[in-house]
A = this chain, B = another copy of it.
Amino acid sequence: MRILDVTVQDVIRSLEEPAGVLESTVDKIICGRSHELVQGIAVSFSATYEALNRAAELEANLFITHEGLFYSHHEGAHEMLKSDPVYQAKQALIEARHLTVYRFHDYPHRYTPDEITLGLIEAIGYDRYAIRHLSSASIIHLPSGQTVRQITEHLKAKLQLSHVRVIGNMDMICDRIGITVGYRGGGPHLIPMYENEQLQLIIAGEGPEWETPEYIRDASALGGSKSLILTGHAASEEPGMRRAADRIRQQFPNVPVHFIPVAPIFQVV
């Protein structure tokens, strides 16, 4: 089979186009070349050492990652790592296997609706209950209410998670739910949303423990009906990247496209 001359830049253009031009973004080719011909594409939430290695084994030369390569949202932090053996080994792997790594973070979050959030909503079968997509969260209306416990079990089954972290009342019945992904679990974002959107429950990735969780703790002490489920950062965003991989596969039917899942990062002991 002949790969029809698709370049890295062709793929990037198709990925960025739905969001328009972003003035400020972390998305870019972190290493590699935009004019390279694409032999195969690997897509993942995180460009871990293992995921990069797997991509190379699959003969993919374009790696599309949501999170950064070097343990930081912004690139400035890389400098301090230059002498670190883990950093050096990862750089050496990328160079030896001629991988081009493109970060695809801000663009999918700026799709309408946010593709990363939409991926999560679809993965848990809530897309038909979405009543509104805000820029950083979606509002779900469950026609028949469910308890926090039922929703927790549903999430764990659909996302194949060994655990989630919950604060609030497990027996509370919810029909208005907010869904937000990644590091959007912070107080300034979520606390007003409970009241503004009349939510009983928000499902988020992660956020500082002393912000939204402490608010829910106080709300619970006052007999209120507010709960929070934290799935973990990767669990909340991996389905969106899987969705992106499916879309790329349709757009470039002649290029092999591999989605590479990452294992859960924590053991809960």
Query: Shortest Cβ distance from A45 into chain B, in angstroms?
Result: 9
Cβ-defined contact, A81 with B191, below 8 A: yes
Q: Which of A72-80, A125-133, A248-256 contacts B (4 or more CB under 8 A)?
A: A72-80
Cβ-defined contact, B71 with A191, below 8 A: yes
How far is it, in angstroms, between the C-alpha of A166 and the C-alpha of B195 when the chains are bound?
Answer: 35
Query: Shortest Cβ distance from A154 into chain B, in angstroms?
Result: 12
Cβ-defined contact, A163 with B195, below 8 A: no
Q: In the complex, which residues 17-52 of chain A have their Cβ closer than 8 Å to any Cβ of chain B?
A: 46, 48-50
Identify which of B72, B86, B232 contacts A209 (C-beta below 8 A): B232
Chain B residues whose C-beta falls within 8 Å of the C-beta of A188 in the assembled complex: 72, 77, 80
Cβ of A144 < 8 Å from any Cβ of B? Answer: no
How far is it, in angstroms, between the C-alpha of A184 and the C-alpha of B183 when the chains are bound?
Answer: 16
Cβ of A197 < 8 Å from any Cβ of B? Answer: no
User: Of A86, A195, A210, A222, which is in contact with the most chain B CB atoms at under 10 Å from its CB?
Assistant: A210
Query: Shortest Cβ distance from A213 into chain B, in angstroms?
Result: 5
Cβ-defined contact, B152 with A221, below 8 A: no
Cβ of A217 < 8 Å from any Cβ of B? Answer: yes
Chain B residues whose C-beta falls within 8 Å of the C-beta of A230 in the assembled complex: 266
A218-B48, A221-B48 given; A167·B266 CB < 8 A: yes
A73-B210, A80-B192 given; A89·B217 CB < 8 A: no
Cβ-defined contact, A165 with B72, below 8 A: no
Cβ-defined contact, B72 with A218, below 8 A: no
Cβ-defined contact, A210 with B233, below 8 A: yes
A81-B191, A217-B265 given; A212·B166 CB < 8 A: no
Chain B residues whose C-beta falls within 8 Å of the C-beta of A164 in the assembled complex: 268-269
Cβ of A110 < 8 Å from any Cβ of B? Answer: no
Cβ-defined contact, B222 with A86, below 8 A: yes
Cβ-defined contact, B209 with A265, below 8 A: yes
Chain B residues whose C-beta falls within 8 Å of the C-beta of A83 in the assembled complex: 195
Q: Name A80's closest neighbour in chain B (CB-CB).
A: B192
Top-7 shortest CB links A-B: A165-B266, A209-B233, A49-B218, A49-B221, A71-B215, A71-B187, A50-B221
10 sample A-B contacts, Cβ–Cβ < 8 Å, listed by A number? A49-B222, A50-B217, A53-B221, A71-B212, A71-B214, A80-B188, A84-B195, A164-B268, A206-B209, A214-B265
Other A-B pairs beyond A71-B191, A71-B212, A206-B208, 4, CB < 8 Å: A164-B269, A165-B267, A165-B268, A210-B234
